[in-house]
Amino acid sequence: MKIRLAKSAGFCYGVKRAVELAESAAQSGEPCVMLGYIIHNSDVVDHLARQGVKVVEDPDQVPEGYGVIIRSHGESRATYQRLEQRGAKILDATCPNVTRIHRIVAKAEEQGRQPVIIGTPNHPEVVAIAGWCRHPVVLPGADELEEWLREDENRKNLPLTFVSQTTSTRKIWDGCVKKAKKECTNAEFFDTICGATSKRQEEAHQFAAQCDKMVVIGDGKSSNTKRLAEICRESCPDVQLIERAADLDLSRLAQAEVVGITAGASTPAWIIKEVCDKMSDENMEIEKSFAEMLEESIKTLNTGDKVTGTVVAITPTEIQVDLGTKHAGYIPVSELTDDPTAKVEDLVKVGDEIETFVVRVNDQEGVVTLSKKRLDVVKGWEEIEAARENETVMEGVVTEDNKGGVVVSVKGIRVFVPASQTGLPRETPMNTLLKQKVRLIITEVNRARRRVVGSISRVLRAERAAAAEKVWAEIEPGKHYTGTVKSLTSYGAFVDIGGVDGMVHTS
Ligand code: SF4
């Protein structure tokens, strides 16, 4: 029997960050409490309580002089204000994905828009998001949205800003977007479903289909874990949902050839390890050691690192990348490419593997800012130097113009093309080339001075010469040719036939 462990089993980066923050608070020796369960896992909460970090349910229960950890689901603006009034030191473990939603809804209201939160009304994350608006509207799905719009026809013309609970399903969100697009005249949408969650669910679906039996580990109260088990049941006939190793029924695994293990986003590594160990004790062979997988997930990141991740979500302003570490990776759209004509959807898709450059690591917020275009620039220099060497024709987009010529962005590198090399007739304004895709030859590279010079006209000349050669090879007396009159003289007209000069006598 083979045991396979799902790649994304266990803590997501938001939960990992929250638990690490609480553990380091406990180890610091400073008195501290957590406001509500830091994550949906009672083993983790008990473990922290044993280290001295107890749970309080209300800001007013925070003892004087104590620090307070805000859980990964986040809290309302009023709760932060209450804690500040009490002078409590706030250790904010809100998942960066959730903080982002707080900012979106707060800004929408500032701009006079009506935030509409698609999610389960009493879920702590949704309650906290609603707490960043003065007049929130919370709707579980498309049916409730329809009803809300029907109650007052004027609502269809309100400026509406839609966001989603991070753990909502794509089906619910897409249903609401479809309805709002059809009915509302001024709606904007922020797809805030957590990419880590959808990736885990998709992976679980495919992974379970390859296994005879599945074991899903997680707290019975975690909706995320229960959903994961439901998804596994869609493609695997026998799924055990357990909280810890003691719950595992080994007899149910007998006769299986492949047993898969996955775990909810709030399941700690030690519980997964206990389950793996219990199986190993029964001589079941584990494909990849749990320690190996854990090692991969806790690697640290530094500015300047090259990292590969998977695109998990794309919004109008950024691309969310799962790096398989405790950080949330974001590529601002401005850091995706230098090509002003490029469309985000043509460059990246959800599920793509993407190589990026680490611009900034914010350990406190658990966020890494990434750039694809800066990595492209490093690679671009190598390609430009090779192109100069081999006289390879390169493609780029004209991004600037001036009296002296134009600047072309080639692989993220600025290449200057002097006016005489643009291929434009004299007196033609340089800006006619702006935003155009052009082909050029690199004629000079000085990487130290970051100077690159190119020529468009050399490519045009070479292309014309090649076309003329082709016409010459095929030209025959008696055949019909179409050309452009270049000049007239007293004895006839000069005609250009695909790069070959022809002469039509007056006679
Ligand atoms: S599931 Fe997503 S949103 Fe929730 S804590 Fe984890 S990373 Fe954050």
Q: What domain count does the chain have?
A: 5
- The closest residue, in CA terms, to atom 7 on ligand 1 is 14
Domain that holds residue 432: 376-460
Question: Where residue 420 falls among pLDDT bands split at 50, 70, 90?
Answer: very high
Query: What CATH code is carried by the domain that includes residue 24?
Result: 3.40.50.11270
Both 349 and 396 in one domain: the answer is: no
Last residue of a domain, one of 193, 228, 249: 193
Domain boundary residue among 193, 220, 251?
193
Q: Is there a domain that residue 322 lies in?
A: yes
Mean pLDDT, range 69-89, rounded to an integer = 94
Does residue 467 lie in a domain region? Answer: no
Q: How far is the CA of 326 from the centre of ligand 1 (A)?
A: 11
| C-alpha to C-alpha distance for 143 and 140, rounded to whole angstroms | 8
410 within 8 A of 394, measured Cβ to Cβ: yes
Ligand 1 centroid to residue 310 C-alpha, Å: 16
What positions carry a catalytic annotation?
A: 125
491 plus 450 within the same structural domain: no
Are 430 and 499 members of one domain? no
Share of the chain above pLDDT 90, in %: 46
Segment among 127-136, 345-354, 427-436 with least mean pLDDT: 345-354
Decide if 125 is inside a domain.
yes
**pLDDT more than 70, % of the chain:** 94
Atom of ligand 1 nearest to the CA of 166: 3
CA dist 165 and 194 (Å) reads: 8
User: Do 444 and 405 have their domain in common?
Assistant: yes
pLDDT confidence of residue 344: 81
The CB of 95 under 6 Å from ligand 1? The reply is yes
> The CATH number of the domain where 443 resides is what?
2.40.50.140
Q: Are residues 132 and 147 in the same domain?
A: yes
Domain at 187, CATH number: 3.40.1010.20
Is residue 260 in contact with ligand 1, taking CB distance under 6 Å?
A: no
Residues 108 and 181 both lie in one domain: yes
Residues 486, 440 within the same domain: no
* DSSP letter string, 228-291: HHHHHHHH-SEEEEESSGGG--GGGGTT-SEEEEEE-TT--HHHHHHHHHHHHHTTPEESS-HH
Q: What is the mean pLDDT of the chain?
A: 87
* Largest Cα–Cα separation, the chain: 108
Confidence (pLDDT) at 88: 92
In a domain, 223, yes or no: no
Are residues 105 and 181 located together in one domain of the fold? Answer: yes
Last residue in a domain, options 325, 343, 371: 371
Find the 25 Cα to ligand 1 centroid distance in Å: 21
Does residue 466 form part of some domain?
no
Sheet containing 67-70, strands listed edge to edge, beginning at the edge strand earlier in sequence: 54-56, 32-35, 67-70, 89-92
> Both 361 and 394 in a single domain?
no
Q: How far is the CA of 392 from the centre of ligand 1 (A)?
A: 47
Closest ligand 1 atom number to CA of residue 97: 3
Residues 80, 142 within the same domain? no
Q: Is residue 285 part of a domain?
A: no
Q: Per the domain annotation, does 174 fall within a domain?
A: yes
pLDDT category of residue 326 using cuts at 50, 70 and 90: low
**pLDDT at position 290:** 52
**Mean pLDDT across 366-384:** 85
For residues 207-216, give the mean pLDDT: 94
- Based on the domain organization, do 136 and 55 belong to the same domain? no
127 confidence band (pLDDT: 50, 70, 90)? very high
Can you say how many angstroms the Cα of residue 499 is from the centroid of all Cα atoms in its chain? 49
Q: At what angle do helices 142-151 and 170-183 cross, to 10 degrees?
A: 30
Considering the domain architecture, whether residues 390 and 339 belong to the same structural domain is answered as: no
194 ligand 1 Cβ < 6 A: yes
pLDDT, tens only, 81-116:
999 999 999 999 898 889 989 999 999 999 999 999
Given a contact cutoff of 8 angstroms between Cβ atoms, the answer to whether 317 and 333 are in contact is: yes
Residue 287 covered by a domain = no
Length of the chain: 507
